[in-house]
Structure 1
Amino acid sequence: MVKVLPQLNFLIIILVLLGSAMFTKAIVKENNSNDPSASSNSIRSHFSSADSALAHWIKYDEMKTLCESLAVILMKEFIQLFGGYKIDWKKIFFAGAIMTASCVMLQMFILNDPLDMWFLSLPVAIPSDKPLNSSLSLNKTSTEARVKRLQIISGSPIVSPNPPIDLNLSVPIMPVAALVPPRGKSRRRRKDSKVDNISKVVPPSPPPRRTVPSRMQKFIWSLTPKEALLYAKKEVEHAPAVMEDDPDLYAPIFRNVSVFKRSYELMELILKVYIYRDGARPIFHQPHLRGIYASEGWFMKLMEENRQFVTRDPEKAHLFYLPYSMRQLGMALYVPNSHNMKPLSIFLRDYTNMIAAKYPFWNRTHGSDHFLVACHDWGPYTLTAHEELTKNTIKALCNADTSEGIFVARKDVSLPETTIRTPRKPLRNVGGFRVSQRPLLAFFAGNMHGRVRPTLLKHWQDKHEDMKIYGPLPLRVSRKMSYIQHMKSSKFCICPMGYEVNSPRIIESIYYECVPVIIADNFPPPLSDVLDWSKFSVAVAEKDIPKLREILVAIPMRRYLTMQINVKMVQKHFLWNPRPIRYDLFHMILHSIWSSRTSNSIWCLQPGFMVKCSKFFELKHGWTFSGKTGGGCQNEKWGCRKDDKAKESP
């Protein structure tokens, strides 16, 4: 006769389980009796330290072992007592449900807020100096690391009336608004907002700056700005020769690497720039970071973010920055197709007069220690309404045409014209093919601007298979090979001037490791005050365009290989880094401005005070300077003297 398992036996098993639960609860309470934090209902106070958390973990592990032992004993008794009975599976399912509920109740009895708590096994950091000879040593090291880094993370935010200051167990919750993209913005505005927020992207950290001895620091800090400039000028003139190779500087591409290195080190040590906060957006303080005129925007952005060179105290400044964007000025005030730049020049004239009236710094030097950075073609022409702004300030211009009388060589700075297509990735596509993968001799494609490009196409378009000379790149050609691929596949890249002397192709050639061929008379190449362009480029006079192929073919392969290597080495000095590093384009431009400030100015004495005069402009009130030797403005102490009759500087 088959026996049926009575329901009374189920009740007996459940009572035994509940009894074991209460028994375990009593054990935990007894173990926690000496721990005042154990009676708290808050997880924050219960685990206020790593020691209490570890103690609770050990107690939990003991309780778990005890429950497992009880479960094994009960299972053996169950099999021995009822092994011969026929089992009713419906009742077994019912019993399983009751046992599951009992286990949940068991946790609720034993633990405080058990369902809100996760015990996470954190990643283990094992020192590299400890050998892992066996699994035993690995387990030991891992266990010690986990005990040291044990953390308890709550599954939901926890509010405690008295939370400990040094403990935060809650998981940060992202606001819903931060996860949902803003609506109501056009695609263009969203793209611009990404560009404006480019500084939020954390780029690689720059290399650490070399420390300066404390004595030198104290000496520099003790100098006034005037004395510091005189000290820097003297140090540069007596710069020691570089005896050992600097891994950051490649000597063959510099005019004088020793002078440059000493001048650069002094700039890092001394230079302070004051930025005028006057002026409203978008003309002031709003950089334009895209396109062929992006240089002025990137310099403005990085200059205003800089903490090393920028000072808030104008009395400590060696240079004063006029933070306007020529690109933004044209977009704001220029009337399309009017060909009238007078409103733009009047605007800058009024701004300069306001600065001169509001602050004493402009009138102190007549603007010769002020500088501006403008990359638009119209940059020089918008300065002419203000005489001192045109003649005295240090101008960093892309349109560096020496034949027009506005840009002054050795005082002003030839600014690189860099094309930035993706502001969030300014270094995108940088690099090129090796020489064996450059089948083309020369390449050019562009609009027919100015007087040089039509002449270039007239002589060389469709004349030779290895010379690809186009107007705008035809669609049939660009489908097979893009503009950038053409530059990366050419040995020489032709860089003719457009409406003005500069061309973005010069820096593009360097980006794509193609030797630039510059065709522009009266144009000092960018940063030519320190870089020797003859070592990594070819200059062709406008009148020699018919001889272009002959000039290029005549260059020996050995010389070309040297030039191409030099292009690669000079590339780092023309890169915009979201976070500037030593010797990159931001620092190179700033150094050229600094160098102009130290080398092209001299301090002259007047009764009671000193006046800074520049050899490039006439000093008023009876003071002139006509050269380093002879003429006016000479004195044993300051290199100056008073001229009773003011003479015009040459």
Structure 2
Amino acid sequence: MHVYSEGDRPIFHQPEAIMEGIYASEGWFMKLMESSHRLLTRDPTKAHLFYLPFSSRILQQKLYVHDSHSRRNLVKYLKNYIDLIASNHPFWNRTRGSDHFFTACHDWAPAETRGPYINCIRSLCNADVGVDFVVGKDVSLPETKISSSQNPNGNIGGNRPSKRTILAFFAGNLHGYVRPILLKQWSSRPEPDMKIFNRIDHKSYIRYMKRSRFCVCAKGYEVNSPRVVESVLNGCVPVIISDNFVPPFLEILDWESFAVFVPEKEIPNLRKILISIPVRRYVEMQKRVMKVQKHFMWHDGEPVRYDLFHMILHLVWYNRVFQTF
């Protein structure tokens, strides 16, 4: 792989500013990619893939004019970058960018990377099949909410299945249209095993996850949610309520074996759906959650085999090799 040297900081080549928070996936990947001695070549003629090292989050922070309701300048900035790459190197033009890739976790990234970027392998947190995401070309990037860059995975694990006394748990801001429906339907219901809240403090949030059988991952404004990865790392079976969402690593992982997918229209039947899952089936699903944890972890320094960094790269390469677009 080759990383272009072009691109001005802090939007390009600057992961330190986004090693924490809900957009941290693009920062961690950029840091590990650009520091890799084993995967990168300085000679672009020897490269099979080309990485475009920009941050969609910092692009938004630096260039978006508050309350302008316009992203034209952000789109233009990215287009100018590709024009620069195309004028300085032959590699973009020979494939129209189909052997180039980037990672982007901000909600606006799909819209900002239409046009000249549409042929790229786009690794997006906002993996929405209703908005340009192409299964088989693009890669669903896990959204990882990181509280401390010193401990990116947090305190993984949780209670064993027999000690998980809460059936289902959710807490979060009322973004979008799905979460208000979820809260209206379940927050005031008498069932004590359904813990559905608006916002709670972080310690309580993690404690509930570690004590719950199922963790509800309801979409916000966009289809993605950091709760998917949080659920896995805390040993809680994810319940994904987001109709157009493409789960990370769908081409490799059998999501049906360790997660529950509930259509948005079935929110009133959520408890019925979950209690209908036999205990033996739930225990097997929880075991599989524990097995896939390693695929959703970041490692500072040298990446570890089968971790999140390697999984993203594997999917990028897989989609490039078998690309039919």
Q: TM-score, normalised by structure 2?
A: 0.97
Who is 1:394 aligned against? Answer: 121
Which residue of 562, 573, 597 maps to 2:295?
573
Question: Secondary structure of 2:130's match?
Answer: helix
Who is 1:446 aligned against? Answer: 172
| 2:61 counterpart letter in structure 1 | M
1:319-375, Cα deviation, whole Å (9 max, x unpaired): 001000111111110122222111111100111111111111101111110111101
Taking the aligned partners of 1:351 and 1:421, their CA distance within structure 2 comes to 32
Who is 2:199 aligned against? Answer: 472
Question: Secondary structure of 2:280's match?
Answer: helix
Q: Which runs of 4+ in 1 moved over 4 A?
A: none
CA contact (8 A) 1:462 1:468 kept: no
Question: Secondary structure of 1:402's match?
Answer: coil
1:565-591, Cα deviation, whole Å (9 max, x unpaired): 000000001000112011000000000
Q: CA deviation at 1:428?
A: 2.3
The answer on 1:516 being equivalent to 2:238 is yes
1:30-45 matched pairs, under 5 angstroms? none
1:130-156, Cα deviation, whole Å (9 max, x unpaired): xxxxxxxxxxxxxxxxxxxxxxxxxxx
1:237-636 matched pairs, under 5 angstroms? 273-287=1-15, 288-384=18-114, 387-390=115-118, 392-404=119-131, 406-463=132-189, 464-473=191-200, 478=201, 482-578=204-300, 579-600=302-323, 615-616=324-325
1:85-115, Cα deviation, whole Å (9 max, x unpaired): xxxxxxxxxxxxxxxxxxxxxxxxxxxxxxx
1:91-110 matched pairs, under 5 angstroms? none
| 1:333 counterpart letter in structure 2 | L
More helix, by proportion: 1
Residues matched between the structures, number: 321
Q: CA deviation at 1:308?
A: 1.1
Question: Secondary structure of 1:373's match?
Answer: strand
Taking the aligned partners of 2:76 and 2:228, their CA distance within structure 1 comes to 32
1:265-286, Cα deviation, whole Å (9 max, x unpaired): xxxxxxxx10001111110001
| 1:595 counterpart letter in structure 2 | Y
**C-alpha RMSD of matched pairs (Å):** 1.1
1:191-243, Cα deviation, whole Å (9 max, x unpaired): xxxxxxxxxxxxxxxxxxxxxxxxxxxxxxxxxxxxxxxxxxxxxxxxxxxxx
Equivalent pairs: percent with the same residue?
Answer: 57
Taking the aligned partners of 2:139 and 2:102, their CA distance within structure 1 comes to 10
CA contact (8 A) 2:167 2:212 kept: yes
Taking the aligned partners of 1:388 and 1:279, their CA distance within structure 2 comes to 17
Q: CA deviation at 1:303?
A: 0.3
Runs (5+) with no aligned partner, structure 2: none
CA contact (8 A) 1:362 1:370 kept: yes
Between Structure 1 and Structure 2, whose CA radius of gyration is higher? 1
Q: CA deviation at 1:466?
A: 0.9
1:415-446, Cα deviation, whole Å (9 max, x unpaired): 10001100011132111111222111000000
Taking the aligned partners of 1:352 and 1:493, their CA distance within structure 2 comes to 41
CA contact (8 A) 1:326 1:375 kept: yes
Taking the aligned partners of 2:261 and 2:319, their CA distance within structure 1 comes to 25
| 1:412 counterpart letter in structure 2 | D
Who is 1:239 aligned against? Answer: none
Question: Secondary structure of 1:513's match?
Answer: coil
Who is 1:150 aligned against? Answer: none
Taking the aligned partners of 2:90 and 2:97, their CA distance within structure 1 comes to 10
| Greater mean deviation of Cα atoms: 456-465 or 290-299 | 456-465
1:438-474, Cα deviation, whole Å (9 max, x unpaired): 111000000000111011011111211110101112x
CA contact (8 A) 2:82 2:116 kept: no
CA contact (8 A) 2:122 2:139 kept: yes
Greater length-normalized contact order (CA 8 Å, ≥ 6 residues apart): 2
Taking the aligned partners of 2:65 and 2:143, their CA distance within structure 1 comes to 24
